[in-house]
Structure 1
Amino acid sequence: MARGFSAHLKEVSARQTDRLVIFKDNKPVAVMMNVQAYQDLVDELEDLRIEAVARDRLTTYEADQAISHEDMRSLFEQGD
């Protein structure tokens, strides 16, 4: 890795390689990836977390306890 770092960095930054796993003593110790690929991964993970929370909340949803959109907006508009 040390000798070919520049070439590997160029491949990853150009997205010719999705990710590069770095090994030390035959064990994976790090992953190098393109910044945009990393951001895409973080965004997808956040979307999945939000979806999981929404799914969990739907299991306890009670329509008679819900607040209408208009009522919710009026609560926030009063604070202005």
Structure 2
Amino acid sequence: MAGCFSVHLEAVTSAAVPHLVIIDDDEPAAVLLSVDAYQALQDELEDLRSERLAIERLPGIDSDVTVSLEEMNARFE
């Protein structure tokens, strides 16, 4: 990796390869991603965390005190 880092970096940043796994002592040590790929992973992780939180909170919602989207929009018109 050290000898041709720029070649590997170009491959990842140009999307020629989605990622590179860096091996050290025959074991995976790191993953090289483009900034766009990293951001996409972060966005997906945030979405999944938000969805999990919503699913966890859903059983505790009191339908007698909830407001529909239409009602909420009407309040702010």
- SS of equivalent to 1:30: strand
TM-score (norm 1): 0.79
Counterpart code for 1:41: L
Q: Over aligned residue pairs, what C-alpha RMSD do you find?
A: 1.7
Runs of 4+ that moved beyond 6 A: none
Q: How does 1:16-27 map to 2 (within 5 A)?
A: 16-27=16-27
Give runs of aligned pairs for residues 1-80 of structure 1, distance below 5 A. Answer: 1-66=1-66, 69=72
Deviations 1:1-44 (A, max 9, x none): 11121110000010111000001101111110010010011001
- In structure 2, what is the Cα distance between the partners aligned to 1:59 and 1:23? 45
| Matched residues, number | 72
Write the letter of the residue equivalent to 2:22. I
Q: Unmatched 5+ residue regions in structure 2?
A: none
Tell me, in whole angstroms, the C-alpha distance in 2 between the residues paired with 1:50 and 1:34. 24
For structure 1, the 5+ residue unaligned runs are: 75-80
